[in-house]
Amino acid sequence: MRAAPHLLGNAGFGCIAALMLLALPCVDGVAFAGDPRSSVQTCLGIAADSERLACYDREVRNLVAPTFSGRLSKTTDRFQIDGPTVLRYQSDGPIFVLYLKAPDDTVIQNLHIGGGGEDSYLIDRPGTYYLDVSGSESWRIWLEPQRDMKTN
C-alpha cells in the first residue's frame, strides 16, 4: 500500500474540509449519527485562523477511514512512504503496543498507549515499512501527510 501524497496546502484542505463537513448531515434523508455539523459549528466560532484550521482538521480526521484497523494482534501488509508521514493510532483497550518495522524485521520504533486513547509518531524517512500490532481491544491506525505538529 502506498500512502497518498498531500495534494493540498493546509489552508486549501481546511476550506474543503469545512465544505465537506457541512454537506454531510444526511444521505438519502438518513441523518448520520453524531451529526458533524455540530462539531463544525464550534469551529466556525473560533476567531483565530490557525486555531479554526486546527479545529477543521481535527473534525475531518474523524471522518477519514483508518489505513489499518483490527482487534487484538495483527501484522499489516508492507507499505511505502515517499516523505515524512504521521502514523496516528488509537486504541480502545488498556493495552496497545505497536512496532514500526523495516522489511528486514528491524524495529524502527516501539510505540504504546496505556489505558486507551490516541497518539502519533512522525516517520521522517521515506521507505518501506510494516506494523506489528498487539492490543487488548480494537484499534485504528492512519498514515497521514506530515503537518506542523509536535511529536516524537
Residue 73 has a pLDDT of: 96
d(CA 36, CA 45): 15
Note the pTM of the prediction, 2 decimals.
0.63
Q: Which residues contact 5 (CB under 8 A, 6 or more apart)?
A: 82, 145
d(CA 148, CA 151): 10
pLDDT digits (tens, 9 = 90+) for 46-65: 999 999 888 887 787 767 78
pLDDT digits (tens, 9 = 90+) for 67-100: 999 999 999 999 999 999 999 999 999 999 999 9
Q: Where are the domains of the chain?
A: 10-61, 68-145
Which helix or strand (DSSP H or E) is residue 14 part of? helix 10-22
Residue 86 has a pLDDT of: 95
The architecture (CATH level 2) of 68-145 comes to: Sandwich (2.60)
Q: Which residues contact 130 (CB under 8 A, 6 or more apart)?
A: 75, 76, 77, 78, 79, 101, 103
